[in-house]
Structure 1
């Protein structure tokens, strides 16, 4: 048998672009209609939000636990409850759009897209809980290194969900990011915080890996949902998606807090907080703001680029988290962490080099043929 595939342009290397042209042929033109300058501006803004929030959110979460905080579901809620920050911008976008005249749909998200994002939001709430449990049980430097493995999970799930191409460089990055946690696990005897049992430490260890795996799944799922909606990526659409994801995840966490009676414990915990009652509420508020910046950045990067790039940015923040943990929290930085950090950076650089190399390859021309040998 002989199958012919014709391409008008070069075969793209990003998961989003590849999925657009292979499964959703009209999507590439729809997204392009948004304008290259607008997309680059939104991508740059999203990257800045991810860096600022990704550096501060984990640090303040760990500070909460170090000074007497113990409500895991509360810190899970803080990772998603900052969604009111997007509502004024969303309202302004609606007013601006309606002021142009003509009929327009009230919401940019389709009904199917809304249902999909609600489900992904619930999954995000579970991911937030697993991450918070790891933060409560592990030093920040350790949990950050473990969470960086989400790049490996993202690469695998991006291949399965949106047909992200694997290259030798991305495979190398995945292997390196998997070896890092193994090194940490084999050399964790002196890393356990005071007052944390071995059982809780290792449960936190695997919870952090589980959180990385769930994030690695949700990023391609968000990307796939964008692709299936076949809509132009606009600022309003990104804000709507973030609101739906955050509200769904927040409701999931609030229900768990009600069952766990966390709301009744907050006033007592505030009075006993090591930094004082006022700073307790300031830490909670700052956590909510910083984590919302991360969430906005995630959705923006995925919508303007790919889920794998969003995962790579998280891995890039690992050295920042390590430095902050040592300088602010005075955590020890042993040889195992050094090896794991070096592997994480090596994997990150390997992936970036692979992306750069793939973009420099000559464009493949029309009429590429794929031959399949007939069976016996």
Structure 2
């Protein structure tokens, strides 16, 4: 048996803050390093997709630490893993869908500036909210509806003057397809997040940190396997050595970019699933949405991308949507505390390692 203990409000906030920090590294760094790969001569979309989840073996490190921590208190009877066959299958299927989502996003990132793709992905919050409504029966408030609407309008606004920031060498058709692919990626991942939350709800067992990491590892393994098939079909493995030699930053830095890609993107996935564990799928979607404008600004700074009026207005709408959602959540929390002061004792999560 795992050790059980009630999470205090402060501990939940600390864990949430840690996961938000990890998520911020992935949200801000992932798109930048992916765009760096394409800008400096990389062109293998399936390889870029593979790198997003190829760092799944890194999850063994925290799992090993947690195992020996449990072993200190439980002795030789310590369970090696907690994932059940049913949860494994569910996580694997979601992982395959994640692999497809990785491909959509990589295709879009190869044709769009970081500043544009980041604002498009902000529309993911709308898809997450809709998915959470149907999948985990999330109740909408006027504030969450407002957030969904303004973020969607922001994405549409960018589409009105598509091609205005088209990178050199990208045709109009490729740019438009990249626009569509990025929106598809946002929509698909917006559904994936509530599905992960549904796994937690239907698990019929303690949702521990160990189980959360196991689910994440299975998902990333399945996504990597999916992308590996794509790489084999596209003969990406044979092309890596030649692409490395032609990389503008040099062969050594080519492999450095690949290694850091796997690490940074793993921060994204671990952080996202960690926020769901500590809060909800919608909260995870909100954190991703609010960090994307930061990524947009970084794209302008590091890649000298154009910052048009449409992008500025879309950025404003993204921030408006974020503030609207969080204001609504604060009012909701305050109302719950006023109507039921004892809720904190009865609704605390059970945590284990």
Partner Cα distance (2:86, 2:104) in 1: 28
Contact kept, 8 Å, 2:162 with 2:176, in 1: the verdict is no
Equivalent pairs counted in the alignment come to: 336
Which residue among 268, 281, 292 is the counterpart of 2:266?
Answer: 292
Structure 1 distance, partners of 2:328, 2:39, is: 40
The question of whether the paired residues in 1 share the 8 Å contact of 2:163 and 2:176 is answered with no
| Distance (whole Å) between structure 1 residues aligned to residue 325 and residue 230 of structure 2 | 38
Q: Which has the higher Rg, Structure 1 or Structure 2?
A: 1
Match of 1:324 in 2: 298
Query: Among 143, 147, 154, which residue is 1:180 paired with?
Result: 154
State the match for 2:346 in structure 1: none
Q: CA–CA distance in 2 between the matches of 1:146 and 1:234? A: 33
| Aligned twin of 1:139 | 113
Shift of 1:45: 1.5
| 2:14 matched residue in structure 1 | 41
**What is the rounded CA distance, in whole Å, between the counterparts of 2:61 and 2:321 in structure 1?**
39
Paired position in structure 1 for 2:69: 96
What is residue 113 of structure 1 aligned with on the other side?
87
Q: Partner residue of 1:68?
A: 41
Query: Is the CA contact 2:272–2:284 (under 8 Å) kept in the aligned structure 1?
Result: yes
Deviation for aligned residue 1:42:
2.6
Return the alpha-carbon distance in structure 2 between the equivalents of residues 37 and 107 of structure 1: 28
Aligned residue number for residue 26 of structure 2:
53
Shift of residue 336, structure 1, vs aligned partner: 0.7
Q: Please point out which of 87, 95, 99 is paired with 1:125.
A: 99
8 Å Cα contact 1:82/1:289 also seen in 2: yes
1:208 aligned residue: 182
In structure 1, the gaps of 5 or more residues are 1-29, 366-376
Relative to structure 1, the CA distance from residue 39 to residue 123 in structure 2 (aligned partners, 3 Å threshold; closer, same or farther) is same
Quick check: 1:34–1:234 contact (8 Å CA) kept in 2? no
Q: Name the residue aligned to 1:363.
A: 339
Instruction: Check conservation: 2:19, 2:271, Cα contact below 8 A.
Output: yes
Aligned with 2:53 (options 80, 104, 123): 80
Which residue in 2 is equivalent to 1:345? 319
Find the residue that maps to 1:350 and give its secondary structure.
helix
List aligned pairs for 1:135-284, cutoff 5 A: 135-284=109-258
Q: CA deviation at 1:231?
A: 2.5
**Aligned counterparts of 1:35 and 1:248: Cα–Cα separation in 2:** 34
More helix by share: 2
Render the CA deviation track for 1:180-229: whole Å, top value 9, x for unaligned.
12111111232111111111111100100000011100000000001101
Residue aligning to 1:7: none
Compute the displacement of 1:98 (Å): 3.0
Out of 207-216 and 189-198, give the one that drifted further: 189-198
Matched-pair contact (CA < 8 Å) for 2:275–2:283: yes
Contact 1:79 1:128 in 2 (8 A): yes
The Cα offsets for residues 29-76 of structure 1, whole Å up to 9 and x where unpaired, read as x99745555433332211110011211111010011011100011111
TM-score scaled by length of structure 1: 0.86
CA contact (8 A) 1:241 1:299 kept: no
Q: Which runs of 5+ in 2 are unaligned?
A: 342-353
Cα offset for 1:339?
1.0
In the superposition, the TM-score normalised over structure 2's length comes to 0.91
Deviation at 1:299, TM superposition (A): 1.1
SS at match of 1:317: helix
Distance 1:102 1:284 in 2: 39
